[in-house]
Structure 1
Amino acid sequence: MVSDITTEERFCGGCGFVISERIQDSGAEWRSFSKEEYDGRSRAGSPTSLAKHDMGLATIIGHENKDSAGKPLSSSMKSTIKRLRTWDGRSQAHESADRNFIQAFSELGRLKDKLTLSDAVMEKTAYIYRKALGKSLVRGRSIPAMIAASLYLACRNSETPRTLTEVAQKINIKRKEVSRCYRLLLRELDLKMPVADPIKCLSRIASKAGLSEKVKRQALTILRDANEMEITAGKNPMSLAATALYLSCEMSGEKITQKVIAQAAEVTEVTIRNRYKGLKESLKT
Structure 2
Amino acid sequence: MAKTAIYERSFDEESGKTIATKTCPECAGTLVTESAEVSCADCGLVIDEYLLDHRPDWNVFDRDTDSERTGAPLTPTRHDWGLSSEIGYGGDAQGTPLSGAKRRQIARLRQQHQRAQWQTTAERNLAYACSEIRRMAGALDLPRSVCEEASLLYRRAQRKRLIRGRSIEMLAAGSLYATCRCRGYPRTIAEVAEVTHCDQPRVARSYRVLNTELGLDAQLVTPMKQLSRFAAECEASADVRHRARELACLAEEHGLANGRHPAGVAAACLYVAGLDCHVNYTQVELAEIAGVTPVTLRDRYYELRDVLSAEPTDGTTSS
TM-score range, shorter chain: 0.7 to 0.9
Alignment of 1:50-61 (within 5 A): 50-61=76-87
**Count of aligned positions:** 255
Aligned to 1:100: 125
- Offset at residue 261 of structure 1 (A): 0.7
CA distance in 2, matches of 1:146, 1:10: 52
CA 1:91 to 1:243, structure 2 compared with 1: closer, same or farther past 3 Å?
A: same
Q: Decide which moves more: 86-95 or 216-225.
A: 86-95
Write the distance in 1 (CA, Å) between the matches of 2:147 and 2:259. 28
Q: Which of the numbers 146, 170, 182 marks the counterpart of 1:121?
A: 146
- Partners in 2 of 1:71 and 1:156 — Cα distance? 51
Which residue is 1:220 aligned to?
A: 245
CA distance in 2 between partners of 1:113 and 1:135 (Å): 27
SS class of match (2:181): helix
Residue aligning to 1:185: 210
Per the TM alignment, residue 70 of structure 1 is displaced from its structure 2 partner at its CA by 4.4
User: Shift of the alpha carbon at 1:257?
Assistant: 0.6
Q: Is the 8 A contact 1:111 1:170 kept in 2?
A: yes
- Pairing 1:229–2:254 present: yes
Q: Does 1:264 align with 2:289?
A: yes
Query: What is the rounded CA distance, in whole Å, between the counterparts of 1:78 and 1:53 in structure 2?
Result: 28
* Alignment counterpart, residue 48 of structure 1, candidates 54, 60, 74: 74
- Report the Cα distance in structure 2 between the residues aligned to 1:230 and 1:26, rounded to whole angstroms: 59
Is the partner of 1:284 in helix, strand or coil?
A: helix
Q: How many Å separate the matches in 1 of 2:95 and 2:295?
A: 68
CA contact (8 A) 2:36 2:50 kept: no
Aligned to 2:270: 245
Structure 1 counterpart of 2:221: 196
What is the aligned counterpart of 1:147 among 172, 180, 196? 172
Identify if the C-alpha distance between structure 1 residues 254 and 197 changes in structure 2 by more than 3 Å, giving closer, same or farther.
same
Structure 2: where are the runs of 5+ without partners?
1-32, 38-47, 55-69, 311-319
CA RMSD of aligned residues (A): 2.8
Higher relative contact order (Cα pairs below 8 Å, separated by 6+ residues): 1
Aligned mates of 1:222, 1:46 — CA distance in 2: 49
| Distance change (3 Å), C-alpha of 1:244 and 1:98 | same
Per the TM alignment, residue 182 of structure 1 is displaced from its structure 2 partner at its CA by 0.9
Whole-Å separation in 2 of the counterparts to 1:237 and 1:46? 43
Distance 2:246 2:173 in 1: 34
CA shift, 1:265, in A, is 1.2
Alpha-carbon distance, 1:179 to partner: 1.1
CA distance in 1, matches of 2:49, 2:76: 36
8 Å contact from structure 1 (residues 144, 171) kept in 2: yes
SS across alignment from 2:208: helix
Q: Deviations over 1:212-260 (max 9, x none)?
A: 2211110011112233334423433222211110111122221111111
Contact 1:222 1:244 in 2 (8 A): yes
**CA shift for structure 1 position 97:** 1.8
Give distance in 2, aligned partners of 1:137 and 1:24: 55
For the residue of structure 1 that corresponds to 2:80, the secondary structure is coil
Q: Secondary structure at the match of 1:100?
A: helix
The change in CA–CA distance for 1:205 and 1:92 in structure 2 (over 3 A counts) is same
1:222 and 1:75 map into 2 onto residues whose CA distance is 70
| Aligned residues of 1:226 and 1:283 also touching (Cα < 8 A) | no
Residue pair 1:8, 1:23 contacting (<8 A) in 2 also: no
- Between the aligned partners of 2:284 and 2:120, the Cα distance in structure 1 is 51
- Identity in percent: 36
Which residue identity does 1:259 align to in structure 2? V
TM-score by length of 1: 0.79
More helix by share: 1
Structure 2 partner of 1:175 = 200
> Which amino acid in structure 1 is aligned with residue 79 of structure 2?
H
The answer as to 2:300 corresponding to 1:275 is: yes
Distance in structure 2 (CA, Å) of the matches to 1:78 and 1:273:
67
Tell me the distance in 2 between the aligned counterparts of 1:159 and 1:126.
17
The answer to which of 94-103 and 119-128 deviates more is 94-103
Any conservation in 1 of the 2:244–2:270 contact (CA below 8 Å)? yes
Corresponding residue for residue 41 of structure 1: none
